[in-house]
Each structure stands twice: as structure tokens, then as C-alpha cells.
């Protein structure tokens, strides 16, 4: 049995803050969380982070790429490179997201995720955990509304197809974790029922849904809203739309891109103060340009220009982001939310929405997936399954 003791200066969980404390980890799983110092002489491996904040690792459940690679390519190797790169940002698990693309292309992205997950697990078996856990796949589109396409390639946007969805379920197996669709698109309600019956989270997004249409989607089982406000019918006092429907639906999670470009800080506060910190999920929506300098990149076959870290299509529309979750965490903290509240939004809530067992919290029975932060909330080290995968 492989044991480790992790010493922390301050322990942040989604529920509370502890002072000096320690975690006992066995075979990658937390078996004890206690305040103070461990008693006796630990025979096991001690990781001393006594002057740092230890928090649950961040879980990015909407991310298209990082460091020059992206999830649409259908290459398992690219997902493994994202896994390694994202660990630098305190991310311990991520859900690769595709953009609207032809059926064959999305099928090969589904297959690539299966290969990437087995590649990741083989690495772990050799005790060489490559980086952040690869959770499965999120298909963002293709069943979205062309009127709210954002950076989704309109050439491949289509009506919802049960036949295609069955193919994706076959190709990805239980790794198809989430689909973003617009509920007003033809066939969407049947698609929601099918996906939800197979355990897939449906998120409403790239949508022009009215308030009533959105409520129908939530009644059919959709449980999330994709980057609330962005690529969505805006709030109007006589036409509250999908945004108010999501904020009012107490069992629906909302995604927010907190780069202060996609949303004004006051809009972020407005959304969190309505939804509360138990159903808000921070996402990056990052593209391959994240972690790289300004320049020209591509997303789903469209040219993207990144200037001052802002990614746009030639039309000027925002095209994903270059955000990473560690920066989103610093941004949301700057708005006055407490560290446990931020841990909910960056770690626990994404795990709860996707029903990820044993992830997103620091407590006995949970995987030892942790991030070590300095007082400015900069990432010093990242641990996955009790193994250090990144150190500054």
C-alpha cells in the first residue's frame, strides 16, 4: 500500500477553512483529514506544504484546448498533452469539449477520448500520472441555434438527430458526459430525453430559447446552462429568456467564464448572487491559444485572432478564451467570494453536476486531487491521485 502524509498551512474545502492540518493518503485516496500535526513518526512519504494553502484541485468541465492542441482533432495524444499542460494551472480533472463539426469528425473525437483515458490510466498504473484526469467528452453543438452561433462553424450546425446521438454514445461509451444544445432546435426535446436517460448531462447553450422554451428543456432533464449570458438570448424585462429561466431553476447549474472579458464583473456578481455558490460552475472555455502568446489560431475550421489574450473571429465575435481556471479563481476571489465558496465553484459543483464520484472535495474517501496555492492564489504544486504532477 502506498501511503503519504500531506502537511498544509491552511486547508480550504468547499465547506470550511482549517488552519495547520494534514491529510493522510493511501493509494491515491484521502483516508484522514485532521487539524494539527500527525502523531507519531510517519513512516510514509511526507509532502510538506506547511506554508501553503491546500485546496481541492480545479475541475474544468468546458475546455477546447490548451498549449497549441485542441480536443476536436481526434488525436488522443493531444488530450494527453492538455492533461499535462493544465496541471500547471491547478487543474486536476478536465472535460475536453468539441465544437460543431461534421458527424465523422465528432465520432473520431469521441473515440480519441477513449484512447486518451486508457493512455492516462496506463500512465497512472506505472506511477507516472501524466497530469489532469481526462473525464470524458463534452459535445458543444452541433445542435445549436445558428442565430446564436458564437464561434460555432455554421456550416455544420444541424437539427438534433437521435441516430447521430446513438452513434456518439456507441463511440464514446460512458465517456460521453455532456452535450450542449439549443432546446428550440427541431428534435432537441427528444434528444434531451435520450441523453438524460443514458446518464449524459444536457446543458442549454448557443440558444435563443425563450423563458418558456428553456423551462421545458429543464423539465425534460437539462441540468445546466452553457456559459450563461454568452451566445444566449439576453434578459429583457418583458422577455426574460433562458438566462432568467436558468437562474430561477434551483436544480440547474450555470457556467460562467470569469475572464472579465466575456462578462462584466457586475454581471458575474449578479449571476452568482442569484444562483448561489452551490450551483455556479467556473469554466475556462479555453482554446488551443491558452498558455501561448498572441497570434493566429483556429477553432473548428475558423480563423481565430488572439490579441492581448482575447480570442476573436475575424467578424469580431469572441471565440472561446485564453483563460485558465487558476486565473478564474483569482478573478472571482477579487469580487469578494470566500475561499470555500470559490472551491465550490471551481471544484465541487462541476463534480456534483457531472456526478463524478470521489472528486471535487477534500475529505476521506475522495481522491487526493489537490492544488497548492500561495497567498496570491498562484499555483505552486498540483497533486493527482496523491502524486505530484506539477511543481513550480
Tell me which residues are annotated as active site: 285
Residue-wise over 28-48: b if at least 16 C-beta within 10 A, else e?
bebeebeeeebeeeeeeeebe
Nearest residue to Zn ion, by Cβ distance, number only: 285
Rounded to a whole number of angstroms, the minimum distance from the CB of residue 64 to Zn ion is: 6
If one counts every other C-beta atom within 10 angstroms of the C-beta of residue 244, the result is 17
CB half-sphere exposure, 302, CA atoms < 13 A: 27
- Kindly indicate which of the ranges 7-15, 26-34, 50-58, 133-141 contains the residues binding Zn ion, using the contact rule CB under 5 A: 133-141
Contact 72, 137 (CB under 8 A): no
Please identify, using beta-carbon distances, which residue of 130 and 142 lies nearer to Zn ion.
142
Rounded to a whole number of angstroms, the minimum distance from the CB of residue 118 to Zn ion is: 25
How many residues are listed for the chain in this entry?
A: 392
Residue 276's Cα: distance from chain center in Å? 18
- Kindly indicate which of the ranges 7-15, 108-116, 280-288, 332-340 contains the residues binding Zn ion, using the contact rule CB under 5 A: 280-288
Q: Dihedral of CA 321/289/346/175: which sign?
A: positive
**Residues facing residue 338 across a β-bridge:** none
- Kindly indicate which of the ranges 125-133, 213-221, 284-292, 328-336 contains the residues binding Zn ion, using the contact rule CB under 5 A: 284-292
Rounded to a whole number of angstroms, the minimum distance from the CB of residue 74 to Zn ion is: 17
CA distances in angstroms from 100 to 242, 266, 318, 383, listed in the order given: 21, 31, 16, 33
Please identify, using beta-carbon distances, which residue of 311 and 373 lies nearer to Zn ion.
311
Give the footprint of Zn ion on residues 63-82 (CB under 5 A).
none
Please identify, using beta-carbon distances, which residue of 285 and 369 lies nearer to Zn ion.
285
- Is the bond preceding 142 in cis, omega lying within 30 degrees of 0? yes
Helix/strand/coil (H/E/C) assignment for every residue in 27-47: CCEEEEEEECCCCCCCCCEEE
Give the footprint of Zn ion on residues 134-173 (CB under 5 A).
140
Please identify, using beta-carbon distances, which residue of 132 and 319 lies nearer to Zn ion.
319
Give the footprint of Zn ion on residues 247-276 (CB under 5 A).
none
Question: H or E element: which one contains 98?
Answer: strand 91-98
Give the residue, chosen from 213, 255, 285, 326, that forms a contact with Zn ion under the rule CB under 5 A.
285
d(CA 125, CA 121): 6
Rounded to a whole number of angstroms, the minimum distance from the CB of residue 141 to Zn ion is: 9
Rounded to a whole number of angstroms, the minimum distance from the CB of residue 320 to Zn ion is: 6
Give the footprint of Zn ion on residues 88-117 (CB under 5 A).
none
Rounded to a whole number of angstroms, the minimum distance from the CB of residue 101 to Zn ion is: 13
Please identify, using beta-carbon distances, which residue of 240 and 300 lies nearer to Zn ion.
300
Take residue 201 and report the three cell numbers written for it: 448531462
DSSP helix/strand/coil, 148: helix
Does 213 interact with Zn ion (rule: CB under 5 A)?
no
Phi first, then psi, for residue 84 (nearest 5°) are: -70, -45
Rounded to a whole number of angstroms, the minimum distance from the CB of residue 328 to Zn ion is: 14
DSSP helix/strand/coil, 288: coil
Please identify, using beta-carbon distances, which residue of 136 and 386 lies nearer to Zn ion.
136
- Kindly indicate which of the ranges 1-9, 51-59, 110-118, 283-291 contains the residues binding Zn ion, using the contact rule CB under 5 A: 283-291
Please identify, using beta-carbon distances, which residue of 70 and 140 lies nearer to Zn ion.
140
- Kindly indicate which of the ranges 8-16, 132-140, 185-193, 324-332 contains the residues binding Zn ion, using the contact rule CB under 5 A: 132-140
d(CA 296, CA 381): 31
- Total number of residues that touch Zn ion (CB under 5 A): 2
Sites of contact with Zn ion (CB under 5 A): 140, 285
Amino acid at each position: 500500500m502506498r501511503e503519504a502524509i500531506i502537511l498544509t498551512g491552511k486547508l480550504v474545502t468547499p465547506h470550511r477553512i482549517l488552519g495547520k492540518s494534514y491529510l493522510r493518503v493511501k493509494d491515491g485516496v484521502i483516508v484522514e483529514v485532521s487539524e494539527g500535526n500527525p502523531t507519531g513518526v510517519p513512516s510514509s512519504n511526507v509532502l510538506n506544504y506547511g506554508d501553503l494553502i491546500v485546496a481541492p484541485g480545479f475541475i474544468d468541465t468546458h475546455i477546447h484546448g490548451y498549449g497549441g492542441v485542441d480536443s476536436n482533432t481526434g488525436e488522443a495524444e493531444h488530450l494527453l498533452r492538455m492533461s499535462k499542460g493544465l496541471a500547471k494551472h491547478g487543474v486536476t480533472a478536465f472535460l475536453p469539449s468539441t465544437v460543431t463539426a461534421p458527424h465523422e469528425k465528432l465520432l473520431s473525437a469521441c473515440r480519441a477520448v477513449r484512447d486518451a483515458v486508457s493512455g492516462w490510466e496506463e500512465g497512472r498504473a506505472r506511477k507516472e500520472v501524466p497530469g489532469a484526469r481526462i473525464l470524458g467528452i463534452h459535445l458543444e453543438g452541433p445542435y445549436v441555434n445558428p442565430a446564436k452561433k458564437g464561434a460555432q462553424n455554421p456550416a455544420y450546425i444541424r437539427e438534433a438527430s437521435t441516430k447521430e446521438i446513438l452513434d456518439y454514445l456507441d463511440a464514446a461509451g460512458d465517456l460521453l458526459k455532456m452535450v450542449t444544445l439549443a432546446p428550440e432546435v427541431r428534435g432537441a426535446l427528444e434528444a434531451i430525453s435520450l441523453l438524460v436517460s443514458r446518464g449524459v448531462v444536457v446543458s442549454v447553450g448557443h440558444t435563443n430559447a425563450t423563458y418558456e422554451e428553456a423551462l421545458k428543456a429543464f423539465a425534460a432533464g437539462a441540468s445546466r446552462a452553457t456559459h450563461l449570458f454568452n451566445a444566449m438570448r439576453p434578459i429583457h424585462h418583458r422577455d426574460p429568456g433562458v438566462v432568467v429561466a436558468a437562474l430561477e431553476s434551483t436544480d440547474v447549474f450555470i457556467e460562467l467564464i470569469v475572464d472579465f472579458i466575456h462578462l462584466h464583473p457586475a454581471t458575474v456578481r449578479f449571476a452568482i448572487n442569484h444562483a448561489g455558490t452551490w450551483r455556479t460552475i467556473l469554466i475556462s472555455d479555453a482554446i488551443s491559444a491558452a498558455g501561448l502568446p498572441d497570434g493566429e489560431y483556429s477553432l473548428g475550421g475558423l480563423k481565430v485572432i488572439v490579441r492581448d489574450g482575447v480570442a476573436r473571429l475575424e467578424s469580431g465575435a469572441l471565440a472561446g478564451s485564453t483563460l485558465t481556471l487558476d486565473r478564474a479563481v483569482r478573478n472571482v476571489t477579487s469580487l469578494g467570494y470566500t475561499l470555500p465558496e470559490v472551491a465550490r465553484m471551481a471544484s465541487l459543483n462541476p463534480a456534483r453536476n457531472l456526478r463524478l464520484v470521489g472528486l471535487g472535495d477534500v475529505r476521506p474517501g475522495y481522491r487526493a486531487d489537490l492544488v497548492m496555492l500561495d497567498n496570491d492564489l498562484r499555483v505552486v504544486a498540483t497533486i493527482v491521485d496523491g502524486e505530484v504532477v506539477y511543481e513550480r
